[in-house]
Amino acid sequence: MDPKKRIVVLVSGRGSNLQALIEAEKKDYFPGTIALVISDNPDAYALSRAERADIPTCVLDYSTFNSKKEYEAELLKILLGESPDLICLAGYMRIVGKKIIHHFPYRILNIHPSLLPAFPGLEAQKQAVEYGVKISGCTVHLVDEGMDSGPIVLQAACSVWDTDDSQSLADRILEYEHQLYPKAVKLFLEEKLKIVGRKVIREG
């Protein structure tokens, strides 16, 4: 039997999507193991989630680095040392640098709380409410050098109610995120995704 593939998760905040991945791994939902959780924020609650699950953690406190270049160089060094099959961004609040993307082409997944390409960037739920859309949702995509612009792997849609504010919509979308992200990781690790141009095609 082949050893499980290695996943590294990058986090910045509370880590609810990390928790969804942890729960999926416990159930052997995908053929991978979370080998390391890295945070740029020493106070991220996600670190506590990882520690409770006996997953090694690493803190790279962004505020202690002199520049983004210096921070990215240290992050890349750690990632290369881990040799991950997949890197998952789970509430990681920084744009991944070009060098990391070039070292791990189409091996970085992100989940975003909108139906991309609509409402990229920060506060996507607020953008959706203010724009007045009736449907929103979440997207798992491969990371490229742009802002939430990489090839789309999976999407899930949910209604936007007239009474919604950004928080109520965010809470509803989050329920879909927790289902969608493990599913995308499973497809990736089972090598059922083929990239053709901008399209990600599911095989098998």
Q: pLDDT tens, 34-45?
A: 999 999 999 999
Q: For a pLDDT cut of 90, what percent of the chain falls above it? A: 96
User: Which class does domain 110-204 fall in?
Assistant: alpha beta
Average pLDDT over residues 101-128: 97
189 Cβ contact list (under 8 Å, min separation 6): 5, 7, 30, 31, 32, 85, 86
Annotated catalytic, 112? Answer: yes
Average pLDDT over residues 104-123: 97
pLDDT of residue 3: 75
Q: Are 181 and 92 in contact (CB under 8 A)?
A: no
pLDDT of residue 188: 98
pLDDT of residue 202: 94
Q: pLDDT-derived band of residue 1, with 50, 70 and 90 as boundaries?
A: very low
Please tell me the CATH code under which domain 1-104 is placed.
3.40.50.170
pLDDT of residue 98: 94
pLDDT of residue 2: 55
**Which of 139, 166, 179, 153 lies closest to 16, judged by CA?**
179
Same fold for the domain at 1-104 and the one at 110-204?
A: yes
pLDDT in tens, 130-189: 999 999 999 999 999 989 999 999 999 999 999 999 999 999 999 999 999 999 999 999
Q: In the chain, where are the structural domains located? A: 1-104, 110-204
DSSP class of residue 153 equals: E
pTM: 0.95
> How high is the mean pLDDT of the chain?
96
* Sign, CA torsion 151/127/8/6: negative
Q: Exactly one of 102, 103, 112, 178 is catalytic; which is it?
A: 112
**Which of 27, 47, 151, 34 lies closest to 85, judged by CA?**
34
